[in-house]
Structure 1
Amino acid sequence: MKKIGVLTSGGDAPGMNAAVRSVVRKGIYHGIEVYGIYYGYQGLINGDIEKMELGSVGDIIHRGGTKLFTSRCPEFKTDEGQMKGIEQMKKLGIEGLVVIGGDGSFRGAKKLTEKGFPCIGVPGTIDNDIPGTDFTIGFDTALNTIIDAVDKIRDTATSHERTYVIEVMGRDAGDLALWAGLSAGAESVLIPEKKEDFHDIVDRVKRGHDRGKRHSIIIVAEGVGSGVDYAKKIQTELNLETRVTVLGHTQRGGSPTAFDRVLASRLGAKAVDLLMEGKGGRMVGIQSNQVVDHDILEALNLKREPEMSMYQLSLELSI
């Protein structure tokens, strides 16, 4: 394989730039020309493609976001859109593609492979919701952003003796909320994968208040419901001053942690290795600190569940 492409797709995640850098430099090291595709699958269809040099990815390993930009592309879900993308790559002699993104991006990569164009998926999403890997690129950085915010909010919560509800990202996956809740010592953690009785949350806050606790922290994944609604219900139920903070897109930005930089570098390099071996329709991941690869579709057909023993531990430690 003499020419490969790389793109980022879907929601941005800290560490995507480190993954792009790894793909480009690993490819060049092995004598492969690497082409950057801008704006995800939409850019692929439109032909927004340029050859990358060593300097093209200089000074980006520490930057959040993605140098190649990203976008959503409904057109690429169609056979016609996929064939347009393949034709654009064939014009330049590109023989394989590395796709950095989440499950939707992976499904696009699988479709291209089925049409005879080999693709490798690199998991980049802060939600940590991709089966086949213990961690996704961006999760660790987003988690640390949340913890930093919770630590600051706790200072104010203590000073004013308030209950704070903090809404974090996680429409379908609760890993961010669960890991943040356990590491920040939250009284309650609400995740999409586990239904919790509202009265259990109220009882936990009340027990803490009755023993003289000056504040409570409740972390809610957005997929469970609105943090604002939960704050109103708690205040009405307990007559305690309650505030809400919605962290929103602050969780996606920022310089990636060392963990995410190393993870992205390892996974990007593995993706190039697989293309050089003539493989496609695979995704790379990390399991027990070993870089692994799986069939994309087989991995996506599995259900990614959070570690429920951590959820139980968070309950036990928040008594």
Structure 2
Amino acid sequence: MNHKVQSIGVLTSGGDAPGMNAAIRAVVRKGIYHGLKVYGIERGYEGLINGIFREMSLGTVADIVHRGGTMLMTARSQEMMTSDGQRKAADQLRKQGIDALVVIGGDGSFRGAQTLSSQGIPIIGIPATIDNDIPGTDFTIGFDTALNTVIESVSKIRDTATSHERTFIVEVMGRESGSIALHAGLACGAESIIVPEISVDLKEVSSKLLRGHQRGKNHSIIIVAEGAGSAWKIAEDLRLETGFDTRVTILGHIQRGGNPSALDVVIASEMGAKAVELLRSGQSDQMTARVSQEVIGLPMEVAYGPRKPFNYDLYELANQLSI
């Protein structure tokens, strides 16, 4: 960066995640604290291309730290995937006099940000996705809240599973990442966890259910990540193998909503503040990351490197504890 940042834009892009509002609040208030102008850009890149800006004040972000979703709203923009759309986005920032941009979202959002960086716009990305699948950071904003939403839901499902002596297959989000399923399964004491990273033999799952039944267990919970296969087919296959009454619950978008957990608010606040610090220090094309309980800046390319490794040790522990 060859000039001092005096104004910052902030937008949220891609899927919403609990804690996004806390990150917006941190960017706005940290920026104002240091004498910067901060502009909120509504509806993600679509709003950026169409010039939907509003100057933010301390009052603009009052009472949002505990709210889910994103006050700036979010949208997926096909136009931003084109060179013409990217040029329009950069032109809008220059027209508004915005020196730098903070993008809150996942790796797809970061790719859009890098196209602006290549046009000379200083960019910092803040990782926010409930899947917790962005490399380089221990946690992404929204993961802890989504995890706790699953745990609370499974607790309620277990009550009816016990009452009716049924096996429940609970499908959680995660097309390519089994992080939610793995952590929720361990925390809930699920009998089996099925994730896209590991091929599972349903006969082994059936055998575990039958062993539990033989020692007097009258209900079971199986957690399935959506990318690991059809929950309905898994339920039917297990019914045929065991003869047990099976039911399916698909939690769906309930996992994205709700007030953020304390951990997500803290992480989001730290990351929002760090994004402003990075821009003020002349950094660009970086992402914030939480590593060993400290928020740091990393090259944004880290987000596109080798996939975040699946925690096989945790998976094995869950298997050992659910014998």
* Band of TM-score, shorter chain: over 0.9
The answer to whether the Cα contact below 8 Å between 1:110 and 1:297 also exists between their aligned partners in 2 is no
1:255 aligned to which of 254, 259, 262: 259
Deviations 1:72-96 (Å, cap 9, x if unpaired)? 0111111111110111110111010
User: What does residue 237 of structure 1 align with?
Assistant: 241
User: What does residue 76 of structure 1 align with?
Assistant: 80
User: What does residue 182 of structure 1 align with?
Assistant: 186
| AA aligned opposite 1:171 | R
Counterpart CA distance in 2 for 1:189 and 1:77 is 36
Give the C-alpha shift of residue 305 in structure 1.
1.8
User: What does residue 43 of structure 1 align with?
Assistant: 47
User: What does residue 281 of structure 2 align with?
Assistant: 277
2:198 aligned to which of 194, 200, 204: 194
Deviations 1:44-73 (Å, cap 9, x if unpaired)? 001011110111100100100000000001
User: What does residue 93 of structure 2 align with?
Assistant: 89
Counterpart CA distance in 1 for 2:187 and 2:146 is 13
Structure 1 runs, 4 residues or longer, greater than 6 Å off: none
1:206 maps onto 2:210 in alignment: yes
Give the C-alpha shift of residue 149 in structure 1.
0.5
Counterpart CA distance in 2 for 1:291 and 1:266 is 7
The answer to whether the Cα contact below 8 Å between 2:122 and 2:284 also exists between their aligned partners in 1 is yes
1:264 aligned to which of 265, 268, 276: 268
Give the C-alpha shift of residue 306 in structure 1.
2.3
| AA aligned opposite 1:143 | L
User: What does residue 136 of structure 1 align with?
Assistant: 140
Give the C-alpha shift of residue 298 in structure 1.
3.2
Counterpart CA distance in 1 for 2:6 and 2:25 is 18
Q: Unmatched 5+ residue regions in structure 2? A: none
User: What does residue 172 of structure 1 align with?
Assistant: 176
Give the C-alpha shift of residue 189 in structure 1.
0.3
Taking only the aligned residue pairs, the percentage that are identical comes to 58
Give the C-alpha shift of residue 242 in structure 1.
0.5
| AA aligned opposite 1:214 | N
The secondary structure found in structure 2 opposite 1:209 is helix
User: What does residue 113 of structure 1 align with?
Assistant: 117
Counterpart CA distance in 2 for 1:108 and 1:227 is 34
Deviations 1:248-306 (Å, cap 9, x if unpaired)? 00000000000000000000000001111121110001010011111112332221122
**Root-mean-square deviation over aligned CA pairs:** 0.8
TM-score, with normalisation over the residues of structure 2? 0.98
Counterpart CA distance in 2 for 1:233 and 1:196 is 13
Counterpart CA distance in 1 for 2:131 and 2:302 is 20
1:151 aligned to which of 130, 151, 155: 155
Deviations 1:99-129 (Å, cap 9, x if unpaired)? 0000100111112112211110001110000
2:319 aligned to which of 277, 297, 315: 315
User: What does residue 228 of structure 2 align with?
Assistant: 224
Counterpart CA distance in 2 for 1:291 and 1:73 is 29
The answer to whether the Cα contact below 8 Å between 2:16 and 2:70 also exists between their aligned partners in 1 is yes
Counterpart CA distance in 1 for 2:303 and 2:241 is 43
Counterpart CA distance in 2 for 1:299 and 1:59 is 31
Counterpart CA distance in 1 for 2:241 and 2:99 is 61
Deviations 1:125-156 (Å, cap 9, x if unpaired)? 10000001000000000000000011111111
Number of corresponding residues: 319
User: What does residue 57 of structure 1 align with?
Assistant: 61
Counterpart CA distance in 1 for 2:203 and 2:110 is 40
The answer to whether the Cα contact below 8 Å between 1:107 and 1:297 also exists between their aligned partners in 2 is no
The secondary structure found in structure 2 opposite 1:223 is helix
User: What does residue 104 of structure 2 align with?
Assistant: 100
| AA aligned opposite 2:166 | R
Counterpart CA distance in 2 for 1:260 and 1:306 is 21
Counterpart CA distance in 1 for 2:50 and 2:62 is 26
| AA aligned opposite 2:227 | G
Counterpart CA distance in 1 for 2:274 and 2:131 is 22
| AA aligned opposite 1:220 | V
Counterpart CA distance in 2 for 1:200 and 1:272 is 51
1:6 aligned to which of 5, 10, 14: 10
| AA aligned opposite 1:92 | Q
